[in-house]
Structure formats: C-alpha cells, structure tokens
Amino acid sequence: MPPEAQSSAPNFGAHVSDVRVRLLPTGLDLGTGEPLPLFAGSMHYWRHPPDVWRAGLASIRAMGLRLVDTYVPWGVHEASRGQYDFGEVDARLDVARFLGLAHELDLRCVLRPGPHINAELTFFGLPEWILWSDECQARTPRGHPVILPMVPRAFPVPSYASRAFLGETARWYGAVGARLSRFRWPDGPIVLVQVDNEGALYFRDGLCDQDYHPDALVSFREFLRSKHRDRQGLRKAWGDDDVTFESAEPPRRAAVPVFRNLGPFVDWAEFQEALLSSAMQSMAGALVKAGFDGLPTTHNLPIAHSATPLDPDRMSAVDLVGIDYYHRATPDDHKVMARRTTELAVRCEDGSRPAFGAEMGAGFPLFFPPLDERDSLYTLMAALAYGLRGFNLYMAVERDRWIGAPIDAAGQPRPLADAYARLLSAMDRVQLLTLRRRAVVRLVVPRGLRRLARATHAFGPLSPALFHTLGAGWSESTLEHEAMPTLVAAEEAVRVFEEALYACGLPFSFATGETHTDETRWIICACAGMLAPHILRRLRAARKAGAVVTLGPYAPTRDETCRPLEVPEDVGGLELVPAMDEERAGALVARRIEELGLDAWPVSPSDLYVCLHEDSSRKVRVVFAMNPTSTPGVARVSIPGITSLVDTVDAVRVLGVGGAFEIPLPARFVRMMAVEA
C-alpha cells in the first residue's frame, strides 16, 4: 500500500495502558471468560425524558440485545464554547446517569462522541460556533466554505485537515473523558468507543468538491513527497516536466481529457483517502489522551462507501471498521448487501474481528425513502447469511426525526421487538457466531479501480456515492475519457462473473485485493489495464500458494496513474481472460468447479438464494434461504448428506429427498434453518 500522508495535526500518540476489552471474531472479550456478542441497540438519551430511560434500556435488554449504543452530541452539550451542560441544567443531558442505569441493567455501551454524529440533528450535532470558524471550515477550489445542503438547515462542514478543528475535537474529547472515562469497563458499561462517524467528507465527497483548506494543501505536498520520493518520480507520474513538490497544486475542476493528464487526479483521490485515515489517527489518539485507553475503537462506513474516499484498509488507527445498512428487501439491494457484507467479512476475518453492522436500519429518517419492517428484518438476516457477526439496531428506541423502531419513544416494546427477540434467541440456539460461511472464491475489485472511477467522475459536486446508491455504474457516471472504456469493461467483467457464480451456486466473496486466506482456491481480479504493484504481488503469492488467479479483461500495461509501464508486468502463471459474456463466464465457472473439486449449491429459481454455514469440522449446521422478490417462491437446492431442515424462528420443517430440498419462502423473507441430525 502506498505510504500515508504525514499528518500535520496535533499528535496524540497512544500510551501504554491496561487493555480492558479485546475484540474477538465472535464479539468482545471482557475478561469474564464468556465472549460478549456484539448485539447492540441505539437509544439517544438526550431525546427522551430521564423517566423514560429505564424503560427503554430494559426493553433493549429484553429483546436479547447486550449493548446500548448512544451518541454524545457535541453541539448539544457545548452550545457555547467552554460552557458545558452534562445534566447540571437540563436533566436530559445527564449522560452519566444514563450510563449508570445501563450498567445497573447489565447492558454494556458503545459510546459515540463524534465530533460528527449526524443523528438527523441540525448541523449533524456539531456546535454552530465550530461551523462558522474560518479556521475549521473545509474549502472549495475557490477557497469558499463547503456548504452541505441538508435539512432542516444547510451548513458549512469542517475540514478533516484543519489543525484547528482537530484541536477543538481533542478538547471536546477531553471534556467527555473528564466526565465519562470513569465508566469504562469493568467500572462501568463502556466497552467500545467510536472515532467520528461516517467520515466521508460530510457527503461532499466529489473529487474536486473539497478540501482546499491551507492545512490540506500542506499535507497534500507532504503526501506527494512520501509517495513519489523524488522530483523525477513526480514529473513522470504527472506528465509535467516543470512540476515540483513545492509548486504542485491539486486539480480544481473535473476535466481529464487524456491519460497523460490523469496523474494529479489519481494522486488527489488517493490523498483524500490518506487524509481521512490521518484524521482518524489523530482523533483516536485524542480519545486515548482523554482517558478512553484500554478500549477498542470503531468507525462506521456509510452506504455506498466504496465510492467515497473512505478506505477501510488504510484505517489502521481504528480497531473495528463496520458498515451501515439501510437497504430494502429487493433483488437489486440483495446483491448490494451481499457485495458489501462479504467484503466486510473477508476483511474482518483476516483481523480476527467480528464483521459489524454499525448501523442496522430499524426504521428510517424523514428524508429517506420509506423502509418497512420486512425491509429491516430482511436486511439483518441477509447480512447474517453473508457473514455478519455483530450489529447495532439503529434505532432500537424511536425518537424525533425518525419513523419506526421496535421500541416506542416511551420505552415500550412494539410487536417488531418480539421478532428481533425470536431471531436473537434462535441465533443463540444454533450458535451462529461460531459458524462461518466458507467461500473459497474471491471476486476482487481493487481499490485503485474505485479510485480511478472517482478521478474520472463526470458530475462534479454530485457525489459518486449518490450514483452508487441509486444503482448507477461507471458507464453512467464517469467522463467520456480514454479510461472510460476500460473502466466500464472491468465493471462489466465483475458483473458477468458475479452472475455466473450465483447461477452455478458457487459461494464467493468480494474483496479489495488486500486479503487472501490460505484456503482461497480461485481469485478473479478485475483489471482495467492498471494494477497496483502490491496487488499484483499478492496475486502472484496466491498463485504460488496454489490458487488459480484469473485477471481481466485487460493485462496491466499502465501504472496506477495510467502512465505506460516502461517494463511490462510479468503476469506469467496468471490466467488472462478478455471481456466475457455471461454464457462464457458461466462455462468457465462450471469448468473451474470440476477442475478444483469445489462445493457448489445451485438454486432454482435464480432469483432466490441459499447460504450454508459450517462448524469448525466443516459440517453444515445452518442454511439460510432468501427471497428478495415481491412474490412467494420455493427455493430448490440439493445439499448432499442432509435429510431435514427446520426453521429456527417459526419451526417450519422441510424434508429432503436424496438431499434435494424445496424450501417455501414468502415474499421478502429469509429463513434461518438448522440442520437436523
């Protein structure tokens, strides 16, 4: 991976401390001898009268959730600089009392002190005086404040590069720590602390949208020195014989007519990734200094995060990088969930961490398309099917600016709460957290490919993430530029292999190319003609370890900035495939199943899905069957060696004939079925 930009922000290096909580693949190790499952539910204390807190927390615990998740809103507690209210004036702000109640009710806590929290608050929970500080504001290419047009009021967003903003954040963390660090486990309920929130540049993440803050420009030049090493390297990458590290300027408008001009755009896109990583490192260090040492940290990636500068593989300062889920029970969203979850599971499995749904939508904010109860339950269960191993119901307790939750605003459970309780009980009975979905095929979409798509995005301040969320691909969102045909061809290669793998019933996972396990048997890597050297090294290493590596539709003939390579990359031993249609991709998948002796479970009809979960001895223990369509269906699948399945929630039993099952599935429905002995 290219070196990070050196942060010019205050350096709060973590000091050696006693470790109070550790991450496990199944949850959290609190030193009690029994892992704590990472099952949380959100309740916002400041949005409820204190006399409702106990009822809400008790209902969360009664559902089977083990943690309460809550933000600590900076702008609510410090409306004027240096003037804090933690319950001294407004009883709703007595977060210490709230945490004490949680501890009393045997709930642990995920604490989320921002600085950005969103939470559908005006100004996203930031103090207004921070937003209007010139030193703290992110800047447009013309040096103006970057305005987020958000309801109910637009506001200028802070800069992740600003030393002033990071310093103010550290001061805020210090105020929180002075009051709440005493509630760290085991003295209190806090077991996990979040660093910032959905750090995608406040959703103003177009390539040339921001950040041209003076501190960012200094960091950009430091990044260029770190990446290119010398002036000649920079000039070669940028195709400019006059540029120097001192004179280098980031691109200020999205216009990329030819390959030779692409270097500055790709470097600026990568710098934004490094900038966010550096800011997270500064904030994580500030949390340690504030007294939250000994606890793991977390951060949540928003939907469509792969189209933003957030690169989870760079965020080494954060212990647990989770993702947010706000999806519908539809065929298109099902595939999006599978892509996001399998990529998350691959990354977390490599780090012995639980794949965490940091916000698992239960209800929706006013400005979202409506999501109903079936959407929420389907999303959670489908994510579990594809490898999720921890989640936070957001929101568990309803509040203002939110519609729908399993617990009402008075803390009383609704019928939906019972559905979640039954699911959690069933997960415990089958010991789902100890099982795994084994997928020996990796479908790799390298980070460099996503970065190139950002660098050639055609719609300026209309975020690439917006197009991604709406289901648009690179053919709809990238510039008509030399790189566009190769990008579109690479995206199409991913799509046809994805469909072929589904059709053949061969379990697979998406990945960025950073991680390949010893049991990976086949890697399919999308290549638009440029590939980072470290990705190619990993592919060669995987091939040497025995995996088949398929690369296409182009061989790597250019570097990551699209400059022609002086010496062609050695791709000997790798299988190069040109552009393929679904029929040819299907034939290749079928041949590979036979050649490698891979286990596959094709499902009929093709718009229904099945995932198998195995124990440590590789025996199938749980089968998920999923119907994302709006009509009832029957999933037909053959699972040799199994004679009977029983739904762990509603007890529907399905008998297999010679291992062939017909599993009835209502519309927009998931069954989690246990294998009967």
Instruction: Say yes or no: 199 and 126 in one domain.
Output: yes
Residue labelled with tokens 């552009």: 579
Q: What is the pLDDT of residues 106-134, one digit of tens each?
A: 999 999 999 999 999 999 999 999 999 99
Is residue 329 within 8 Å of residue 379, measured between CB atoms? yes
CB under 8 A, 24+ apart: contacts of 644-647: 644/675, 644/676, 645/673, 645/674, 645/675, 645/676, 646/673, 646/674, 646/676, 647/671, 647/672, 647/673
**Is the preceding omega at residue 152 within 30 degrees of 0, hence cis?**
yes
Final residue of a structural domain among 395, 418, 434? 434
What is the structure's pLDDT at 255? 67
Assign residue 103 the CATH number of its domain: 3.20.20.80
What is the C-alpha separation between 58 and 175, in angstroms, rounded?
29
What is the structure's pLDDT at 419? 97
Mean model confidence pLDDT for the chain = 93
Contacts of 625 (CB under 8 A, 6+ apart): 608, 609, 610, 635, 637, 663, 665, 670, 671, 673
Q: In this structure, what are the phi and psi dihedrals at residue 359, rounded to the nearest 5 degrees?
A: -135, 105
Is the confidence at residue 1, as pLDDT, over 60? no
What is the structure's pLDDT at 595? 97
Is the confidence at residue 10, as pLDDT, over 80? no
Is the confidence at residue 626, as pLDDT, over 90? yes
Instruction: Say yes or no: 170 and 98 in one domain.
Output: yes
Angle, vertex CA 327, rays to CA 210 and CA 609, nearest 5: 130
* 3 within domain boundaries: no
Q: Quote the distance between the C-alpha of residue 65 and its chain's center.
A: 22
Final residue of a structural domain among 565, 596, 627? 596
Residue labelled with tokens 């040819």: 584
Is the confidence at residue 143, as pLDDT, over 90? yes
What is the structure's pLDDT at 8? 34
Is the confidence at residue 11, as pLDDT, over 50? no
* 454 within domain boundaries: yes
Q: Percent of the chain scored above 70 by pLDDT? A: 96
Instruction: Say yes or no: 93 and 155 in one domain.
Output: yes
Is the confidence at residue 621, as pLDDT, over 90? yes
* pLDDT band at residue 408 under the 50/70/90 scheme: very high
Q: Quote the distance between the C-alpha of residue 93 and its chain's center.
A: 30
* 15 within domain boundaries: no
Q: What is the pLDDT of residues 451-502, one digit of tens each?
A: 999 998 888 778 888 888 888 888 888 888 788 899 999 999 999 999 999 9
What is the structure's pLDDT at 19? 93
Instruction: Say yes or no: 87 and 217 in one domain.
Output: yes
* 272 within domain boundaries: yes
Count how many Cα atoms sit within 13 Å of the Cα of residue 510 in the half-sphere of its side chain: 21
Residue labelled with tokens 């085991």: 186
Instruction: Say yes or no: 157 and 212 in one domain.
Output: yes
Instruction: Say yes or no: 385 and 461 in one domain.
Output: no
Average the pLDDT over 216-224 and give the result.
Answer: 98
What is the per-residue DSSP string for 73-124? -HHHH-SBTTB--SSSS-GGG-HHHHHHHHHHTT-EEEEE--S---TT-GGG
What is the C-alpha separation between 497 and 482, in angstroms, rounded?
24
Assign residue 485 the CATH number of its domain: 3.40.50
Enclosing H/E stretch for 393: strand 390-394
Average the pLDDT over 25-33 and give the result.
Answer: 96
Query: In this predicted model, which residue has the larger pLDDT, 483 or 557?
Result: 557
DSSP 674: E
* 14 within domain boundaries: no
What is the structure's pLDDT at 366? 85
Other CB atoms within a 10 A radius of the CB of residue 444 amount to 28
Q: What is the pLDDT of residues 237-268, one digit of tens each?
A: 999 999 999 999 999 987 666 777 899 999 99
What is the structure's pLDDT at 561? 79
**645 has which bridge partners?**
654, 675
Where does residue 119 rank: exposed (0-12), middle (13-18), buried (19+ CB within 10 A)? buried
* 16 within domain boundaries: no
Query: Among 448, 480, 476, which residue's Cα sits nearest to residue 462?
Result: 476
Instruction: Say yes or no: 424 and 445 in one domain.
Output: no
201 by DSSP, 3-state: which? helix
Is residue 668 within 8 Å of residue 661, measured between CB atoms? no
Instruction: Say yes or no: 176 and 194 in one domain.
Output: yes
Angle, vertex CA 353, rays to CA 347 and CA 355, nearest 5: 65
Is residue 64 within 8 Å of residue 188, measured between CB atoms? no
What is the C-alpha separation between 450 and 470, in angstroms, rounded?
17
Instruction: Say yes or no: 30 and 56 in one domain.
Output: yes
Instruction: Say yes or no: 542 and 608 in one domain.
Output: no
Final residue of a structural domain among 562, 596, 630? 596
Instruction: Say yes or no: 469 and 344 in one domain.
Output: no
Tokens of 606: 């093709």
Assign residue 633 the CATH number of its domain: 2.60.40.1180
Query: Among 437, 543, 537, 448, which residue's Cα sits nearest to residue 490?
Result: 448
Tokens of 411: 């803390």
Contacts of 661 (CB under 8 A, 6+ apart): 635, 636, 637, 638, 639, 642, 645, 654, 655
Structural domain of 390: 22-434
Is the confidence at residue 47, as pLDDT, over 70? yes
* 322 within domain boundaries: yes
What is the C-alpha separation between 441 and 541, in angstroms, rounded?
16
Average the pLDDT over 378-399 and give the result.
Answer: 98
Q: What is the pLDDT of residues 444-461, one digit of tens each?
A: 999 999 999 999 888 877
Instruction: Say yes or no: 580 and 623 in one domain.
Output: no
What is the C-alpha separation between 139 and 265, in angstroms, rounded?
18
* 130 within domain boundaries: yes
Quote the number of domains for the chain.
Answer: 3
* pLDDT band at residue 15 under the 50/70/90 scheme: very low
What is the structure's pLDDT at 478? 87
